[in-house]
Amino acid sequence: DSVSGVDLHPQTNNANHHTREISLTRLIVRRGQPFKLTLNLRQPFNASIQPLHISAATGKRPTEKQGTLSFFGVPDVVKRSPSAKAVWKVELDKGSSTVTGNLILTITPPADTPIGEYTMTVKHRDQEMVLAKPVVLFNPWCPDDWVYLKDENEINEYVMNEQGIIYRGSSTYIGSCNWDFGQFEDNMVDICLRMLDLNPKYMKDPGDDVSARCNPIYVSRVVSAMINSVDDSGVLEGNWSGSYPNGVSPSHWTGSYAILKRWFDTGSYPVKYGQCWVYAGVMCSVMRLLGFPCRVVTNFESAHDNDRNLTIDVYHADYGVRETPSPDSIWNFHVWVEAWMRRPDLAKDGKYDGWQVLDPTPQEKSQGVYCCGPAPVVAILNGETDLKYDTPFVFAEVNADCIDWLVKADGSKVNIFSDTARVGQNISTKSVGSNKRMNITDSYKYREGASQKLPEVLFRAIEQDVFYVIFRMFLFLWLLYIILNQHLWGILVGFRIELKSQRLRFEYHWGPFLPFPIPLPSSHVYCLFSNESKNIQKTLTFEISTCFFFLLCCE
């Protein structure tokens, strides 16, 4: 044999790759960052005559085109496919001794390689052998990785910290519970990799699924789906009934590892039972292990907009009318996670990079699967509800209007009460480096009634319809002048602007009144025009509806 031995230096490599907490004996590295191993040959090494050929493969059907198979070597004269993606690199370290055959190899998996366990093989002379089976994770320390986070303190909190706090209760009485994420406990790597391998997309096409694991957007959606067990072999079974047969109450759990280990040890059978904060805590553990910066977030007075109309509708029956059940609801609190990643699929300029909402609690299907996100927090803030993934649903959770309707006998509905401020209160997460609660509501929504610049979309709407608006206002002033000069009825003009998370509603109200005190029915005839936008985006068009008002006049 030409190879006498291999030293993977797991302790040194794992320390350099911030994976020492996971294992001291298993090689676990992060993509986009080099690691070293020592290859001992029985004879001197002559690169030009007898080069080293190395391969790295992951998944059942690895191919160069999908980035799941890479060929490289010393020297790098390996024949590759023209369509090869995610090519690994190797360099011969200066400390190597070619005379004695002691080779120190510096190997770098690219920053866009799929995460997972790899099999590395080496071929020298006529011998081919397995060199190593490293596990490759996302790398928040690498600027070229989509999960890169610049602040070291935030990485320590959102990737390395195994202890956390989850907030529960109500918006007026915020409680907290300690949560042990335990992302570096024994077998957590195998648990998380099994989770990826059991997802339905992998079952359907293992090659495509493993290839897509280069993308943190894709992986985060898979994890979101696999934490619940509604339509797959997921980790947790939900239960909100108050009765927990053959399982335990969700409040029993104080950490993720006991849940994940039970799921792993029982052949991936769903663990009973969980609710939103348990789902979120378990997902945060998996995400941190895989290398995502991740945190648990609680939204108080959280809306569930079942019909996705951005309102929470409550129906009250008029006399003799059958009650109409509401499909929508508001929870005292709801818990999800945020993961930090880039979103080049939405914008190349980084506009939507940063925190993304992911919700593993099974509420509504997303592209046919019970998962939610990633939805950019900045898109939720700006009401850009046309963006992937599930942004309208999350937007409604923090920003929906609560509307009470009176349902009449003829089926018509009358708005009897609206509350634009109830939903989305005290959105909270644990602070960096301390156990204090951090209120992040302002990152999700603009404060009610706060003065701010009118959004760009307003100016665009005015610009598009400026002549139309001027004409209508001129008509109104002309009619007002005639009415007042002819001693006719006056006009009461009411004007209101409602600014709520850049959803703008303009209403001009008109009501007849006399200049002397005579009781009249409180009839209102309106409006000049109303202007409402539901989506704020660069290509938004406003729907402007105009209705003429009627004047009752007398000589």
Residues marked active site are found at: 276, 334, 359
> Chain centroid to CA 392: how far?
12
Distances (CA, A) of 372 to 223, 256, 367, 395: 10, 20, 10, 12
Distance CA(224)–CA(371), nearest Å, equals: 5
452 three-class SS? coil
- Is the bond leading into 374 cis (omega within 30 degrees of zero)? yes
How many whole angstroms separate alpha carbon 302 and alpha carbon 363?
A: 13
Locate 349 and state its tokens: 């300029």
Burial of 14 (0-12, 13-18, 19+ CB in 10 A): buried
Place of tokens 């006049």: 553
Query: What is the secondary structure of 41-105 as a DSSP string?
Result: ESS---TTTS-EEEEEE-SSS--TTTTSEEEEEESS-----TT--S--EEEE-TT-BTTTTEEEE
How many Cα atoms within 13 Å fall on the side-chain side of residue 364? Answer: 21
CB-count burial class (<10 Å; 0-12, 13-18, 19+) for 322: exposed
Structural contact between residues 219 and 199, judged by C-beta atoms closer than 8 angstroms: no
Two tokens, residue 136 = 């490759």
The residue whose two tokens read 């007849």 is 512
71 φ, ψ to 5°?
Answer: -110, 135
Which tokens is 350 given? 């980084």
